[in-house]
């Protein structure tokens, strides 16, 4: 199993994944009189960021001529949920909602104290139990083609393999923007706020409305996945694992069994979107 590097490693002056995702990847040679604090300020990082990236046990001990890698720790893009929120739409039934999320009617009823399986109201908020974070395989007639087209456009914009982001987004949310997990992950690609801040500030993604806009959320998810693809040498399996489990976690403890199940499910769906 290949291991992802936990940080942005910097050997080039600049690398552009695509025009919409460009960020500096570089090294800095310490000049006489420079401090780690001054260097961190120069590049917009914290002293702790640079000390961690460069394995510095004492941030006060750097020397002229030393080469430092400039980068920030990559946060986890997604925390596996045990449940998600869903707002009942026109035409929904308890059975259709349960089928959509690959759970039993009894599980849905139990999670929401619904006594009558025939009665749900448009606009009603339901909790969806997702014991493994797995969304079911695509079934005929189940696709939101409008949202799917937005995901396809984001996938193409960031140069991702055809079908990869589409399958990821289906796995994460069933192509629904209104999903929020119990871990606080939001939208069609399920992004947590801390990671969104990182993507906005470090990756420079123009997606300020990621919480409410399908387009912005899809573009942000595409940017994050493209970043992992760059860092893993286009290893789809490892990039998906990093997206789900977190880059640092994969590096520290390896790919967890539930992550393997997630990755396998996503990769199995990719051909359906090609």
- The three-state DSSP-derived secondary structure of 126-141 is EEEECCCCCCCCCCCC
Q: Is the pLDDT of residue 2 over 70?
A: no
CATH code reported for the domain at 139-273: 1.10.530.10
244 vs 115, higher pLDDT: 244
Angle separating helix axes 236-245 and 257-269, nearest 10 degrees: 130
Question: pLDDT tens across 227-270, in order?
Answer: 999 888 899 999 999 998 888 888 888 888 888 888 888 888 88
Nearest to 69 by CA among 3, 134, 139, 6: 6
Q: Do 229 and 221 contact (CB within 8 A), yes or no?
A: no
Q: Is the pLDDT of residue 9 over 80?
A: no
Question: pLDDT tens across 134-187, in order?
Answer: 444 444 344 556 788 899 999 999 999 999 999 899 888 878 888 887 778 889
Q: Is the pLDDT of residue 71 over 80?
A: no
Fold matches, 15-70 and 83-129: yes
Q: Is the pLDDT of residue 274 over 90?
A: no
Eight-class DSSP state of 175: S
What gap in Å lies between CA 70 and CA 5, rounded to an integer? 14
Q: What is the pLDDT confidence band of residue 82, given thresholds at 50, 70 and 90? A: low
Q: What is the pLDDT confidence band of residue 130, given thresholds at 50, 70 and 90? A: low
Q: Where are the alpha helices (DSSP H) in 91-235?
A: 94-101, 105-112, 145-157, 164-173, 193-198, 214-231
Q: Where are the chain's structural domains?
A: 15-70, 83-129, 139-273
Q: What is the mean pLDDT of the chain?
A: 75
CATH code reported for the domain at 83-129: 3.10.350.10
Q: What per-residue confidence (pLDDT) applies to 33?
A: 76
Q: Do 172 and 192 contact (CB within 8 A), yes or no?
A: no
138 vs 127, higher pLDDT: 127
**CATH superfamily ID and name for 15-70:** LysM domain (3.10.350.10)
Q: Is the pLDDT of residue 207 over 80?
A: yes
């Amino acid at each position: 199993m290949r291991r992802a590097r936990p940080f942005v490693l910097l050997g080039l002056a600049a690398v552009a994944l695509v025009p919409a995702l460009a960020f500096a990847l570089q090294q800095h040679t310490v000049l006489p009189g420079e401090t780690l604090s001054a260097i961190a300020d120069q590049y917009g990082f914290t002293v702790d960021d640079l000390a961690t990236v460069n394995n510095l046990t004492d941030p006060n001990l750097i020397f002229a001529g030393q080469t430092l890698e400039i980068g920030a720790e990559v946060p986890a893009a997604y925390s596996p949920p045990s449940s998600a929120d869903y707002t009942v739409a026109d035409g929904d039934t308890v059975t259709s909602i349960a089928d959509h999320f690959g759970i039993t009617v009894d599980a849905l009823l139990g999670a929401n104290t619904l006594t009558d399986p025939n009665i749900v109201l448009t606009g009603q908020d339901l909790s969806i139990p997702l014991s493994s974070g797995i969304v079911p395989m695509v079934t005929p007639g189940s696709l939101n083609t409008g949202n799917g087209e937005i995901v396809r456009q984001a996938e193409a914009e960031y140069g991702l393999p055809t079908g990869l982001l589409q399958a990821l987004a289906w796995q994460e949310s069933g192509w629904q923007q209104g999903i929020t997990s119990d871990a606080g992950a939001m939208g069609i690609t399920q992004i947590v706020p801390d990671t969104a801040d990182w993507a906005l500030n470090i990756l420079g993604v123009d997606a300020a409305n990621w919480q409410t806009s399908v387009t912005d959320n899809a573009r942000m998810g595409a940017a994050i996945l493209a970043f992992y693809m760059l860092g893993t040498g286009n290893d789809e399996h490892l990039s998906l694992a990093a997206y789900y489990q977190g880059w640092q976690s994969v590096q520290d403890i390896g790919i967890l069994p539930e992550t393997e199940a997630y990755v396998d499910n996503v990769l199995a769906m990719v051909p359906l979107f090609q």
